[in-house]
Amino acid sequence: MWEVDQQRDVYEQKWALLNRNMRWEVADLLREHYLPAVNAACEEVHPRDSFYTAYGKRALDIAVAAVALGATLPVNAVIALVTLVDLGRPIFFRQQRIGKGGEKFTLVKFRNMREAFDENGHPLPGAMRVTKLGKIMRRTSLDELLNFWSILKGDMSLIGPRPLVPEYFSRYSVRHRARTAVKPGLECPPRSGRLPASYDEQFENDVWYVENSSFAVDISLMIRLVQSVLDREDSKKRSASVKGSFMGYDENGAAVDSHSVPMWAIDTVLRRHGLLGSAGRE
Protein backbone atom coordinates (compact mmCIF):
# COMPACT_ATOMS: atom_id res chain seq x y z
CA MET A 1 0.00 0.00 0.00
CA TRP A 2 2.88 2.31 0.90
CA GLU A 3 4.53 1.63 -2.48
CA VAL A 4 1.31 2.42 -4.32
CA ASP A 5 0.96 5.72 -2.46
CA GLN A 6 4.59 6.57 -3.20
CA GLN A 7 4.12 5.83 -6.90
CA ARG A 8 1.03 8.04 -6.94
CA ASP A 9 2.95 10.86 -5.25
CA VAL A 10 5.75 10.61 -7.83
CA TYR A 11 3.19 10.58 -10.64
CA GLU A 12 1.47 13.72 -9.32
CA GLN A 13 4.81 15.51 -8.84
CA LYS A 14 5.85 14.76 -12.41
CA TRP A 15 2.45 15.64 -13.85
CA ALA A 16 2.49 18.98 -12.00
CA LEU A 17 5.70 19.94 -13.84
CA LEU A 18 3.97 19.74 -17.20
CA ASN A 19 2.39 22.91 -18.52
CA ARG A 20 -0.61 22.80 -20.85
CA ASN A 21 1.44 22.45 -24.03
CA MET A 22 3.59 19.71 -22.52
CA ARG A 23 0.49 17.75 -21.56
CA TRP A 24 -0.67 17.92 -25.17
CA GLU A 25 2.78 16.55 -26.11
CA VAL A 26 2.09 13.58 -23.82
CA ALA A 27 -1.23 13.04 -25.60
CA ASP A 28 0.55 13.24 -28.96
CA LEU A 29 2.95 10.50 -27.86
CA LEU A 30 0.09 8.21 -26.85
CA ARG A 31 -1.62 8.86 -30.20
CA GLU A 32 1.57 8.10 -32.11
CA HIS A 33 2.37 4.91 -30.22
CA TYR A 34 -1.03 3.33 -29.61
CA LEU A 35 -3.78 4.79 -31.81
CA PRO A 36 -2.95 2.90 -35.04
CA ALA A 37 -3.22 -0.46 -33.23
CA VAL A 38 -6.39 0.64 -31.43
CA ASN A 39 -7.99 1.66 -34.74
CA ALA A 40 -7.00 -1.63 -36.38
CA ALA A 41 -8.86 -3.53 -33.66
CA CYS A 42 -11.97 -1.30 -33.57
CA GLU A 43 -15.43 -2.64 -34.32
CA GLU A 44 -17.20 -0.65 -37.04
CA VAL A 45 -19.99 1.71 -35.98
CA HIS A 46 -23.22 2.02 -37.99
CA PRO A 47 -25.09 5.26 -37.13
CA ARG A 48 -28.88 4.95 -37.16
CA ASP A 49 -30.41 6.44 -40.31
CA SER A 50 -34.18 6.99 -40.17
CA PHE A 51 -36.86 9.61 -40.72
CA TYR A 52 -36.67 10.43 -37.02
CA THR A 53 -32.90 10.98 -36.99
CA ALA A 54 -33.12 13.07 -40.18
CA TYR A 55 -36.17 15.24 -39.33
CA GLY A 56 -38.10 14.21 -36.22
CA LYS A 57 -35.30 14.68 -33.72
CA ARG A 58 -34.71 18.27 -34.83
CA ALA A 59 -38.43 19.07 -34.63
CA LEU A 60 -38.55 17.68 -31.08
CA ASP A 61 -35.48 19.69 -30.11
CA ILE A 62 -36.99 22.97 -31.37
CA ALA A 63 -40.33 22.40 -29.65
CA VAL A 64 -38.90 21.47 -26.26
CA ALA A 65 -36.06 24.04 -26.29
CA ALA A 66 -38.42 26.92 -27.18
CA VAL A 67 -40.76 26.06 -24.31
CA ALA A 68 -37.86 25.50 -21.90
CA LEU A 69 -36.23 28.84 -22.73
CA GLY A 70 -39.46 30.71 -22.15
CA ALA A 71 -40.20 28.89 -18.90
CA THR A 72 -36.70 29.36 -17.47
CA LEU A 73 -36.22 33.01 -18.48
CA PRO A 74 -36.94 34.35 -14.94
CA VAL A 75 -34.58 31.74 -13.44
CA ASN A 76 -31.82 32.68 -15.87
CA ALA A 77 -32.29 36.37 -15.01
CA VAL A 78 -31.84 35.62 -11.30
CA ILE A 79 -28.78 33.43 -11.97
CA ALA A 80 -27.23 36.20 -14.08
CA LEU A 81 -27.70 38.73 -11.28
CA VAL A 82 -26.35 36.42 -8.57
CA THR A 83 -23.37 35.45 -10.77
CA LEU A 84 -22.57 39.14 -11.31
CA VAL A 85 -22.55 39.72 -7.56
CA ASP A 86 -20.61 36.52 -6.83
CA LEU A 87 -17.94 36.65 -9.56
CA GLY A 88 -18.33 39.95 -11.37
CA ARG A 89 -17.87 40.24 -15.11
CA PRO A 90 -17.94 38.41 -17.39
CA ILE A 91 -21.13 36.62 -16.40
CA PHE A 92 -20.81 33.99 -19.10
CA PHE A 93 -18.27 31.26 -19.65
CA ARG A 94 -17.62 30.58 -23.33
CA GLN A 95 -15.67 27.63 -24.66
CA GLN A 96 -15.21 25.88 -27.99
CA ARG A 97 -16.64 22.37 -28.10
CA ILE A 98 -16.87 19.60 -30.69
CA GLY A 99 -20.20 19.38 -32.51
CA LYS A 100 -21.61 17.04 -35.12
CA GLY A 101 -19.04 15.84 -37.64
CA GLY A 102 -16.21 17.33 -35.60
CA GLU A 103 -17.31 20.92 -36.33
CA LYS A 104 -16.67 23.41 -33.54
CA PHE A 105 -19.30 25.54 -31.81
CA THR A 106 -19.26 27.89 -28.83
CA LEU A 107 -20.82 26.58 -25.64
CA VAL A 108 -22.15 29.28 -23.30
CA LYS A 109 -22.78 28.80 -19.59
CA PHE A 110 -22.98 30.99 -16.51
CA ARG A 111 -19.59 31.25 -14.80
CA ASN A 112 -19.17 29.24 -11.63
CA MET A 113 -15.39 29.19 -11.17
CA ARG A 114 -12.85 31.73 -9.98
CA GLU A 115 -9.54 32.33 -11.74
CA ALA A 116 -6.92 30.69 -9.51
CA PHE A 117 -3.49 29.22 -10.31
CA ASP A 118 -0.82 27.14 -8.55
CA GLU A 119 2.83 28.14 -8.07
CA ASN A 120 3.67 26.90 -11.57
CA GLY A 121 1.00 29.06 -13.18
CA HIS A 122 -1.32 26.14 -13.91
CA PRO A 123 -5.05 26.59 -13.25
CA LEU A 124 -6.08 24.88 -10.03
CA PRO A 125 -8.40 21.88 -10.38
CA GLY A 126 -12.02 22.81 -11.00
CA ALA A 127 -13.08 21.46 -7.60
CA MET A 128 -10.81 24.05 -5.95
CA ARG A 129 -12.00 26.96 -8.09
CA VAL A 130 -15.74 26.42 -8.15
CA THR A 131 -17.71 28.78 -5.90
CA LYS A 132 -20.42 27.84 -3.40
CA LEU A 133 -22.98 29.12 -5.88
CA GLY A 134 -21.30 27.08 -8.60
CA LYS A 135 -21.60 23.90 -6.54
CA ILE A 136 -25.32 24.50 -6.12
CA MET A 137 -25.74 25.20 -9.84
CA ARG A 138 -23.89 22.03 -10.78
CA ARG A 139 -25.75 19.89 -8.27
CA THR A 140 -29.12 21.16 -9.53
CA SER A 141 -28.03 21.33 -13.21
CA LEU A 142 -28.97 25.03 -13.35
CA ASP A 143 -25.69 25.62 -15.20
CA GLU A 144 -27.16 23.65 -18.12
CA LEU A 145 -30.16 25.94 -18.73
CA LEU A 146 -28.40 28.14 -21.29
CA ASN A 147 -27.75 25.04 -23.38
CA PHE A 148 -31.37 25.23 -24.51
CA TRP A 149 -30.26 28.22 -26.60
CA SER A 150 -27.58 26.06 -28.25
CA ILE A 151 -30.28 23.47 -28.94
CA LEU A 152 -32.60 26.03 -30.49
CA LYS A 153 -29.74 27.31 -32.68
CA GLY A 154 -29.04 23.78 -33.87
CA ASP A 155 -25.60 23.32 -32.33
CA MET A 156 -26.88 20.75 -29.83
CA SER A 157 -29.72 18.33 -29.24
CA LEU A 158 -31.70 17.40 -26.14
CA ILE A 159 -30.21 13.91 -26.01
CA GLY A 160 -26.76 13.08 -27.32
CA PRO A 161 -23.13 12.64 -26.30
CA ARG A 162 -21.77 15.35 -24.06
CA PRO A 163 -19.86 17.98 -26.08
CA LEU A 164 -16.15 17.79 -25.28
CA VAL A 165 -13.25 20.12 -26.06
CA PRO A 166 -11.69 20.22 -29.58
CA GLU A 167 -8.30 18.92 -28.37
CA TYR A 168 -9.86 15.50 -27.84
CA PHE A 169 -11.02 15.01 -31.42
CA SER A 170 -7.69 13.90 -32.90
CA ARG A 171 -7.17 11.50 -29.99
CA TYR A 172 -10.37 9.51 -30.55
CA SER A 173 -10.21 6.05 -32.02
CA VAL A 174 -12.17 5.57 -35.23
CA ARG A 175 -14.89 3.88 -33.17
CA HIS A 176 -15.14 6.60 -30.55
CA ARG A 177 -14.98 9.37 -33.13
CA ALA A 178 -18.35 8.04 -34.29
CA ARG A 179 -19.87 9.71 -31.21
CA THR A 180 -19.74 12.90 -33.30
CA ALA A 181 -21.99 11.36 -35.98
CA VAL A 182 -24.89 12.98 -34.09
CA LYS A 183 -25.26 16.39 -32.46
CA PRO A 184 -24.00 16.62 -28.89
CA GLY A 185 -26.69 16.77 -26.24
CA LEU A 186 -27.47 17.92 -22.74
CA GLU A 187 -26.74 14.38 -21.66
CA CYS A 188 -26.68 10.81 -22.91
CA PRO A 189 -27.89 8.95 -19.82
CA PRO A 190 -26.22 5.54 -19.47
CA ARG A 191 -28.28 2.41 -20.06
CA SER A 192 -26.87 0.91 -16.86
CA GLY A 193 -28.46 3.66 -14.76
CA ARG A 194 -25.13 4.64 -13.15
CA LEU A 195 -22.66 7.36 -14.03
CA PRO A 196 -19.82 6.30 -16.35
CA ALA A 197 -16.72 5.71 -14.25
CA SER A 198 -14.31 6.10 -17.15
CA TYR A 199 -14.03 7.56 -20.64
CA ASP A 200 -14.30 4.03 -22.02
CA GLU A 201 -17.73 3.63 -20.42
CA GLN A 202 -18.83 7.10 -21.50
CA PHE A 203 -17.68 6.71 -25.10
CA GLU A 204 -19.13 3.21 -25.49
CA ASN A 205 -22.46 4.44 -24.17
CA ASP A 206 -22.33 7.29 -26.71
CA VAL A 207 -21.58 4.85 -29.54
CA TRP A 208 -24.55 2.72 -28.48
CA TYR A 209 -26.76 5.80 -28.71
CA VAL A 210 -25.45 6.67 -32.19
CA GLU A 211 -26.42 3.20 -33.38
CA ASN A 212 -29.79 3.07 -31.62
CA SER A 213 -31.16 6.63 -31.70
CA SER A 214 -34.95 6.70 -32.09
CA PHE A 215 -37.98 8.57 -30.80
CA ALA A 216 -38.65 5.87 -28.20
CA VAL A 217 -35.04 5.88 -27.03
CA ASP A 218 -34.95 9.70 -26.78
CA ILE A 219 -38.18 9.87 -24.77
CA SER A 220 -36.93 7.13 -22.46
CA LEU A 221 -33.60 8.91 -21.92
CA MET A 222 -35.31 12.29 -21.39
CA ILE A 223 -37.40 10.75 -18.62
CA ARG A 224 -34.29 9.20 -17.11
CA LEU A 225 -32.48 12.55 -17.35
CA VAL A 226 -35.27 14.41 -15.54
CA GLN A 227 -35.39 11.72 -12.86
CA SER A 228 -31.62 11.98 -12.40
CA VAL A 229 -31.75 15.79 -12.07
CA LEU A 230 -34.52 15.56 -9.46
CA ASP A 231 -32.83 12.74 -7.53
CA ARG A 232 -30.64 14.24 -4.79
CA GLU A 233 -28.23 11.31 -4.63
CA ASP A 234 -27.74 11.28 -8.40
CA SER A 235 -27.22 15.04 -8.38
CA LYS A 236 -24.56 14.76 -5.67
CA LYS A 237 -22.74 11.99 -7.53
CA ARG A 238 -22.89 13.93 -10.79
CA SER A 239 -21.51 17.15 -9.26
CA ALA A 240 -18.78 15.21 -7.39
CA SER A 241 -17.77 13.11 -10.41
CA VAL A 242 -14.42 14.30 -11.71
CA LYS A 243 -12.56 12.65 -14.57
CA GLY A 244 -9.27 14.05 -15.73
CA SER A 245 -8.67 15.20 -19.28
CA PHE A 246 -8.98 12.53 -21.97
CA MET A 247 -5.42 11.81 -23.10
CA GLY A 248 -5.81 8.89 -25.52
CA TYR A 249 -5.39 5.13 -25.17
CA ASP A 250 -2.89 2.78 -23.54
CA GLU A 251 -1.26 -0.34 -24.95
CA ASN A 252 -4.36 -2.37 -24.08
CA GLY A 253 -6.66 -0.06 -26.03
CA ALA A 254 -8.26 1.41 -22.89
CA ALA A 255 -9.03 5.13 -22.82
CA VAL A 256 -6.87 6.93 -20.26
CA ASP A 257 -7.25 10.29 -18.58
CA SER A 258 -4.74 12.60 -16.94
CA HIS A 259 -4.79 10.48 -13.76
CA SER A 260 -3.66 7.31 -15.52
CA VAL A 261 -1.18 8.20 -18.27
CA PRO A 262 1.63 5.63 -18.76
CA MET A 263 4.67 6.94 -16.90
CA TRP A 264 6.99 6.47 -19.88
CA ALA A 265 5.08 9.14 -21.83
CA ILE A 266 5.35 11.67 -18.99
CA ASP A 267 9.06 10.90 -18.54
CA THR A 268 9.70 11.30 -22.27
CA VAL A 269 8.24 14.81 -22.32
CA LEU A 270 9.97 15.83 -19.08
CA ARG A 271 13.28 14.59 -20.48
CA ARG A 272 12.66 16.49 -23.71
CA HIS A 273 12.33 19.73 -21.71
CA GLY A 274 15.12 18.98 -19.24
CA LEU A 275 12.76 18.54 -16.29
CA LEU A 276 12.99 14.83 -15.53
CA GLY A 277 15.27 15.23 -12.50
CA SER A 278 12.94 17.80 -10.90
CA ALA A 279 10.52 15.30 -9.39
CA GLY A 280 10.52 11.68 -8.34
CA ARG A 281 12.94 9.13 -9.77
CA GLU A 282 13.57 8.27 -13.39
pLDDT digits (tens, 9 = 90+) for 63-88: 999 999 999 999 999 988 988 887 77
Query: Quick check: 246 and 165 in contact, CB under 8 A?
Result: no
Question: Is the pLDDT reported for residue 49 higher than 90?
Answer: yes
pLDDT value of residue 281: 46
Q: Is residue 213 part of a domain?
A: yes
* 139 DSSP 8-state letter: H
In a domain, 57, yes or no: yes
Q: Is residue 12 part of a domain?
A: yes
pLDDT at 168: 95
Residue 1 falls inside a structural domain: no
Q: Report in angstroms the alpha-carbon separations of 36 from 105, 203, 204, 258.
A: 28, 18, 19, 21
Q: At what angle do helices 132-140 and 57-87 cross, to 10 degrees?
A: 160
Helix (H, G, I), strand (E, B), or coil: what is residue 215? helix
Which whole number is the average pLDDT over 46-55? 96
Burial class (CB in 10 A: 0-12, 13-18, 19+), 64: middle
Q: Is the preceding peptide bond at 90 cis, omega within 30 degrees of 0?
A: yes
Distance of CA 225 to the CA centre of its chain: 17
Q: What pLDDT was estimated at residue 282?
A: 43
Average pLDDT score over residue span 229-241: 64
- Does this model's pTM top 0.75? My answer is yes
Mean pLDDT for the stretch of residues 125-153:
79
Number of C-alpha atoms within 13 angstroms, CB side, residue 38? 23
| The total number of structural domains that make up the chain | 1
pLDDT(154) > 90: yes
Strand partners, 106: 96
- Please report which confidence band the pLDDT of residue 20 belongs to, taking 50, 70 and 90 as the band edges: confident
Strands 185-187 and 157-159 come out as parallel
Is the separation of the CB atoms in 280 and 267 below 8 Å?
no
- Is there a domain that residue 52 lies in? yes
% of the chain surpassing 90 pLDDT: 60
Residue type, 90: P
Give residue 212's pLDDT band: very low, low, confident or very high (50, 70, 90): very high
* Amino acid letter for position 15: W
Q: What residues are paired with 96 via a beta bridge?
A: 106
Model confidence at 263: pLDDT above 60: yes
Residue 269 lies in a domain: yes
Q: Three-class SS of residue 108?
A: strand
Better pLDDT: 216 or 238 = 216
pLDDT of 191 strictly over 70: yes
DSSP state of 232: H
Q: List the domain range (segments joined by +) for residue 247.
A: 7-278
| 27 is a domain residue | yes
Average pLDDT of the chain, as a whole number:
87
CB of 58 within 8 A of CB of 154? yes
* Region 25-40 average pLDDT: 96
Bridge partners, residue 151, by sequence? none
How many angstroms separate the CA atoms of 174 and 188, rounded?
20
Per-residue pLDDT of 112-133, as tens digits, reads: 776 655 555 556 555 566 777 7
Residue 234 has a pLDDT of 64
Whether residue 2 is contained in a domain is answered as no
